[in-house]
Chain A
Amino acid sequence: MNDSSDIIEVKNLTKKFKDLTAVDGISFSVREGEVFGFLGPNGAGKTTTIKMLCTLLRPTSGQALVSGQDVVKSPSEVRKHIGLVAEKLILYDRLTAMENLKFFGSLYHIPKQEVVARATKWLKALEMEKWQDKMAGTFSTGMKQRVNIARALLTEPEVIFLDEPTLGLDPQTSRSIRNFIDDLHAHGVTVILTTHIMPEADELSDNIAIIDHGKIIAMDTPQNLKASIKKDNATLEDVFLRLTGRDMREDSHEHIPSARAHMFGGKSRVR
């Protein structure tokens, strides 16, 4: 497991929010250049894990290395190597697509011409070059997400985290983003992907981890996972439901931010 080509190594990573253990001592590793599917029901702890790997949340205990750097001890080193497409768009509505990219590029101290060259390249690859001088606020969800992905790739990161990148997108845009992820894969970028769309995870991932109640309950290639259950033509969805049960996650009701929690900050709070 501890291969030298592992780009992410996670050991006993735990995150507690007061008395709720959102991530409960998980360990896994991701090889350089692979697409790693991170699946689990709502509230399982996927986003929390990604935020810890991105240095946005401080782990309660455990260790995580990204590109060989410890996320707690040298967060600024980690930040140089990662890109993030979060659940919420990281774009300013009142800046144009190009201005957004220029701004975020400048934070990575990339020379201006280089930023423009890369931005143009990614916008083209994502078929957004026509819109580069329009305000991001006027875009459709799909257009916004494409600019958002261009932003995450601008710094040419070794690892890119995609937290539900196709959430709320139409089939055409979802398709083009999936193709795009495949392209990234072909170019050797490591992708950590969370999604609730099982065929998407099946199609894109080299390896899949299924997390439930903060614990990893299965981790293997999609093929092996499907073969592991006794059913003809088993799909990843069959595997997922078999492993996580058919119950919806109402039992974790108090974990999902209630109306009260929302009033006092709730989920929007970065901890």
Chain B
Amino acid sequence: MKKIFQILTDSFRMARKDLLEFFRDRMQLVFFIIMPIFMMIMTGFIFPTENSLKNIPLGIANQDTGQMSATMTEVLTEMRTSNGDNIFSVKTFADDGALKDAIKAQKINGGVFISSDFSQAIQENQQASVTIIPDQSNPQISQILTQVLQQVIARTSTSVAQTKVDEMIKLTAIANPQLAQVNAAVIIQPIQSTIDNLIPGKPNYFQFVAPGIMAMIVMMSVMTGLATSVSREREAGTLDGLLIAPVSRLSIILGKAFSQTARGMIQGMIVLLLAIVLFGVHVYGSWLIMIVLLFLGVFAFMGIGILVSALASAQESAMTIMMTFQFPMMFLSGVFFPIQQMPQVMQYVSKVIPLTYEATALRKVIVLGAGFSSVWIEVLILFVFGAVMLAIAVPTFRRAVTR
């Protein structure tokens, strides 16, 4: 008991020294604060959300002269985002060939072709058609574009249908007065869907990505931070000063782990603060569970950090090893893209990455307001992973420092 206490107080001394050193390094401090800000802003703005889509160049070739197609063109031209920006910047073209050429020349991101018989077909109670030409070289935009256009067309055709059904009802109601009560909308769309969100408001990309980035930043600072900090001391020669002191090896590595934990938590909080203040993210779950989850993440990744610092002799090789691990982790753990959107094989891969569980658990708590009962599987996995890694890493470190 006394020994454990001694190990802990020694490691707190080490951690205090590390943090003192760290906070005096202006350059490092600047990057420390800028990195999460940069990360948030970057991921927030490079991914298209419906709000960020505006003035998409859209080509329309309207060969029809009727009222209906003119209305549709106007709807597309006048569509606005919630911020009041035009979604499309519409250019007119002669025919579908011209639209395709413009897409190839990357002048427009998509085209709508309305053939000359459009209005006539509607008038004559035939099915009229509109052609959407997407720009397949830009899948993100073309997907959104196709969705929006299909909605507009669906809405237009519903209103056409409604007018026609109304006419039909009026005609038949003369013979059968009961039918006068029938609502045209019910005939056309017998089922209506409403969305009952778990949380109010529209889903927001930041809301999705902020928990993941928090998880990732915490992971990076314990893994990279720990390994580079140990190798820096090894290269400078100061590690020898710690090793000849009558303190346990465990204190040395725990001290490093504590100081890196503090750094990771501070950075995680910067991300959260930015997300809340700048990007309208809201924490729906309990802050306590969120913080416990962050600490658990630190615990889970500490072992890998220690292992790398034991194995990597120079700071540079520590960095290289870490990058090799972290890069695939970042992309496969669902921090930036939902795992469900990945191919099946990659989904299996992401299941063995601990960061996936950290990110998922944090997202559940922050976005869906989940309680402990909904994240206990993730908690268990992270805990077991962390414990196993530590059990491997600590003896390896002990052996590695005195070769």
Contacts and interface: CB of A to CB of B under 8 A. Distances in A.
Interface of A: 54-58, 75-76, 79-80, 82, 84, 86-92, 94-95, 99, 103-104, 106-109, 135, 151, 264-265, 268-271
Given A55-B244, A107-B245, A86 B403 contact: no
20 contacts: A54-B244, A55-B244, A58-B402, A58-B403, A79-B245, A88-B236, A88-B240, A90-B237, A92-B17, A94-B21, A104-B241, A108-B245, A109-B246, A264-B314, A265-B313, A265-B314, A268-B313, A269-B313, A269-B403, A270-B239
B237 A151 contact: no
A91 B238 contact: yes
A14 to B, nearest CB: 14
B381 interface: no
A86 B234 contact: no
B244 A103 contact: no
B237 A86 contact: yes
A13 to B, nearest CB: 15
Contacts of B246: 76, 79-80, 107-109
Contacts of A271: 403
B20 to A, nearest CB: 7
Contact of A55 (B234, B239, B247, B402): B402
Interface size class of B (residues with CB under 8 A): 20 to 34
Contacts of B155: none
Listed from nearest, the 7 A-B pairs whose CB atoms lie closest are A88-B237, A265-B313, A271-B403, A90-B241, A107-B245, A269-B313, A94-B21
B24 interface: yes
A82 B236 CA distance: 21
Interface string B214-250: 0000000000000000000011111111111111000
A89 B20 CA distance: 19
B320 to A, nearest CB: 11
B211 to A, nearest CB: 34
A270 B317 contact: no
Interface in B313-332: 313-314, 317
B182 to A, nearest CB: 82
A151 B401 CA distance: 22
Contacts of B24: 94, 135
B311 to A, nearest CB: 10
B10 interface: yes
B13 to A, nearest CB: 5
B36 to A, nearest CB: 23
A54 B241 CA distance: 10
B25 interface: yes
A92 to B, nearest CB: 6
Contacts of B243: 55-56, 270
B258 to A, nearest CB: 15
B317 A265 contact: yes
Contact of A107 (B13, B235, B237, B313): B13
B403 A92 contact: no
B238 A92 contact: yes
Contacts of A109: 246
B403 A87 contact: no
Contacts of B17: 92, 95, 103
B373 to A, nearest CB: 44
Contact of B240 (A56, A80, A99): A56
